[in-house]
Amino acid sequence: MKNKDFITIRDWPADAMNELLALADAVKKNPSKYANILQRKALAMIFEKPSLRTRVSFEVGIQQLGGFSLYLTQNEIHLGRRESVGDVARNLERMVDGIMARTFSHAVVEDIARFASIPVINGLTDFCHPCQALADYMTIREAKGAAHGIKIAYIGDGNNVAHSLIYGAARFGAELHVASPAGYGPDPAVVGWAQENGGETGARIEVLTDPFRAAEDADVIYTDVWTSMGAESEAARRREAFRSFQVNDGLVSRARPDYVFMHCLPAHRGEEVTGSVIDSGRSIVFQQAENRLHVQKAVMITLMG
């Protein structure tokens, strides 16, 4: 997969996705083996949105691989305003070895990849969050021994995280049930693609409006914030729409006794999840967050090595 971009999980076949997770496992178990594999390689990191996990995991990751990063905010480059996306991409390709972009519009990351000859990694867009989902499936395999055939109940907004989980289910053969309020479900085109292409891995994807039905006998309960960055004006309306979709003790009682709870973070305790769930012994949210470091190192090794 050398010199290809990592824009969506949809773009990579199932065997390549499994190779990425195998490499992430190896990097996690023996990080010193990979300490200089990207020696002196430079990663430009473009941020239109603030970040904790994305920035730290990419900065630490590239340094642990022997390279270094450059942090570029919207205030510095004014992507698409002071300079066109294409010109930014064509400048950077002559100075660095890879680009990670965390943007609002998915089209911006696609344009960077179209114009830049160097690898481009999607750090998050309003459409998908592939690095997060890759870390999620790594964590599920660690917790449950496999992702294939595991029932995941995603409760909440059919957002960028949900889209990447859906693509990942198709690639890893998971059984994913997405429960969202009417009008807040995932993009039907994403669901349709996954249902059509998940047959080869035995995946099953279902979209529901009943969170309790989705959680029935689930191995994994997953949720995300009700209001994503950029949609703050909708917060009050969303709180009302999602009120019955809170992951609480009553909902998780429908899951299997050995279920695990996941959240991509940041979490709003008392909204999408109660403290009794996220802070319980069944929660693996910080293991999940740590695995962002390892999977992104695997992506950078594969693309920039």
Residue positions annotated with a catalytic role: 102, 129, 132, 224, 264, 292
Q: How far apart are CA 278 and CA 296, in angstroms?
A: 24
Residue-wise DSSP of 198-210: -GGGT-EEEEES-
Report yes or no: 23 and 302 within 8 Å, Cβ to Cβ: yes
DSSP designation for 187: P
Q: Which residues face 179 on adjacent strands?
A: 155, 208
Q: Tokens 């309003």 map to which residue? A: 126
Q: How far apart are CA 111 and CA 219, in angstroms?
A: 38
3-state SS class at 17 = helix
- Scanning the chain, the segments in alpha helix (DSSP H) are 14-29, 53-64, 74-77, 85-92, 106-115, 130-144, 160-172, 188-197, 211-215, 235-241, 249-252, 275-278, 285-304
C-alpha atoms less than 13 angstroms from C-alpha of 4 in its C-beta half-sphere: 12
Backbone phi, psi, residue 274, to 5°: -90, 155
